[in-house]
């Protein structure tokens, strides 16, 4: 059997009620939600379990909510003895990956992503920045489009390189609009505006980076016990100083998700397990390489079926 990677979802995968069933059944799972409430001095667990969705979707809530839920699910899954050779996460999910790799404690991770969410929301006045998904255009042609618009004074750049034919652009409202029109003219099949609270992973996020730096400097970052494939470089990292540096860069740099998945495949990963709500990353991984196995673990039933499938593979 080849190597296994645990991957963790980013913002957008949140859903009211995620993790609730597990938390009600397993006290050790509930501990994650109560700990998050304590760290944030906030009833985050109530928002996760009961909503409303609009409140859960706020960046300041969605980020700690997803990290908490993913870690709670991982805790239950790890009892099966399945070990990862690599971990990675999409944007916010990179923090979950770092907690899973023991580079950060759970409490530090929850605190860091709450602060990150606050800084991201405040970096650009509401309504001035946005993001859009561009479908059916390769990265070189889309990069040429965004570079041209960016140089003309309307900030826009590639933000999430998710899989072949699916790239998210980010920047000023006008920059994204102009780049979207030009992308269609260059052959893009569709341009879909995203409902986000800011231009994440663009140069407009740089004001938030010094604030995040101060927060990360206050944490007891450790070397990762499992290599974490960084969004910014698509390379494995484990040294605490490098992790910190890449988390700062991640705020205003593109998420190289397609490259990260390909890197793990090149390093021998043939099984990807998405731990957390939704199946966004599993879908992207299938589009990157259909020959690898992908599983999603979000509740007790999926947890058991993945464990059974992995056992069968070993027999």
Known catalytic residues are 91, 201
CB atoms within 10 A of CB 214: 10
Structure tokens at 195: 């409902």
- Dist CA 169 CA 142 (whole Å): 9
Judged by DSSP in three states, 40 sits in helix
Strand order in the sheet with 129-135: 156-163, 166-172, 129-135, 190-193
Outline where the chain has alpha helix (H): 20-25, 27-40, 44-50, 53-57, 59-78, 93-100, 106-123, 139-151, 173-185, 206-217, 240-252, 257-266, 280-288, 300-314
């Amino acid at each position: 059997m080849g190597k296994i990677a645990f991957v963790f979802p980013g913002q957008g995968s949140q859903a009211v009620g995620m993790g609730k069933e597990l938390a009600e059944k397993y006290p050790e799972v509930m501990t994650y939600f109560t700990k998050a409430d304590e760290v944030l001095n906030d009833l985050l667990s109530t928002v996760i379990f009961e909503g409303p969705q609009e409140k859960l979707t706020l960046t300041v809530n969605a980020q700690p909510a997803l990290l908490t839920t993913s870690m709670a699910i991982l805790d239950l899954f790890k009892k099966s003895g399945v070990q990862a050779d690599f971990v990675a996460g999409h944007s916010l999910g990179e923090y979950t990956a770092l907690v899973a790799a023991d580079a950060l404690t759970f409490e530090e991770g929850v605190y860091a992503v709450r602060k990150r969410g606050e800084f991201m929301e405040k970096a650009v006045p509401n309504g001035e920045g946005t993001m859009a998904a561009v479908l059916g255009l390769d990265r070189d042609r889309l990069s040429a489009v965004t570079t041209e618009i960016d140089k003309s004074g309307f900030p826009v750049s590639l933000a999430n390189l998710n899989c072949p034919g699916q790239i998210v652009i980010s920047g000023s409202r006008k920059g994204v609009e102009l780049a979207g029109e030009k992308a269609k003219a260059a052959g893009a099949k569709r341009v879909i505006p995203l409902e986000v609270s800011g231009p994440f992973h663009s140069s407009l996020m740089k004001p938030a980076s010094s604030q995040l730096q101060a927060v990360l400097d206050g944490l007891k970052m450790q070397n990762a016990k499992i290599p974490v494939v960084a969004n910014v470089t698509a390379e494995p990292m484990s040294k605490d100083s490098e992790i910190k540096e890449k988390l700062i860069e991640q705020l205003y740099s593109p998420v190289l998700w397609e490259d990260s998945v390909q890197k793990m495949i090149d390093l021998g990963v043939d099984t990807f397990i998405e731990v957390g709500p939704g199946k966004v990353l599993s879908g992207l991984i299938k589009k990157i390489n259909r020959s690898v196995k992908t599983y999603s673990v979000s509740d007790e039933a999926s947890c058991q079926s993945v464990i059974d499938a992995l056992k069968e593979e070993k027999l």
